[in-house]
Amino acid sequence: MNILLAASDSNVFGILSSIFGRPDTLTQPSDLLKHLEQLSIVWSTIFLAAGLMCMLNGYRYYKIITIVLALGIGACMGYYLGGKVDKSYIVAACLAALLAVACWPLMKYAVAIVGGLVGAFLGANAWSAILATVQNTARPDPSQQTYWVGALIGLLVCGMLAFILFKLSVVLFTSVSGATIALFGALSLLLQIPAWRSDIIQSLHDNAMVLPLLVVVPAIIGLIFQQSQSSSSGGGAPAPNKAPKPA
């Protein structure tokens, strides 16, 4: 009962807005773990289960996943913007509904946008992690906000990929987004265990490459798994709005 009550106290929109407020959040482990500790066990379990499903089988349900991601992006953006006018939940609900409904008739463009955002997230974290490794520091200097270079490259590459190789784009963004969500859920659950909490925090602070690797490696596994599954079934995610062949 206490666990269920804790779920209602966890402001998931505020937490996610804070986490993704900086694109290279994986290279800022102290801030990330501080936010993940605020997630309830229920939300953490939901994130872990949904992330694994998206990572390993997202190509089958890419339309639903795209709409859900658009819903979440709209809710987090609306919550942040609504906080400026003290109407967080109203703006969050309106913007989430607008983006989710707009995705359905514009699915191919929605996949390109979501794929581009996932690419920007991946590029920003890769750029910051490599920069910190080259400078031999445990984490990148927050004052040197050069992550936008990697974010821009990832945005352009993954965004254009949806118009060239649609199926690969779907598998890529579902694998990366699923691995990220699953990692957040798993870390939040592990941080609930007092005996492991300090060791986890200390190990993640040692190197800026740790958290990005914990996303990239499962994402690659998910990408390979989804590609093999779609090839063996002889199908996969079909391109939307495909015109019928003339008689």
Dihedral of the CA atoms 225, 230, 232, 233 (nearest 10)? 140
Cα first-last separation, the chain: 62
In this predicted structure, what is the pLDDT of residue 88?
A: 82
Q: What is the pLDDT of residues 4-15, one digit of tens each?
A: 434 444 578 888
Binning pLDDT at 50, 70 and 90, where does residue 233 land?
Answer: low
pLDDT at 82: 83
Look at 234 and 44; give whichever has higher pLDDT. 44
pLDDT tier for residue 210 given thresholds of 50, 70 and 90: confident
Please state the pTM of the whole predicted model. 0.82
pLDDT tens-digit readout, 115-170? 999 999 999 999 888 888 877 765 666 556 788 888 999 999 988 888 888 888 89
pLDDT tens digits for range 38-49: 888 999 999 999
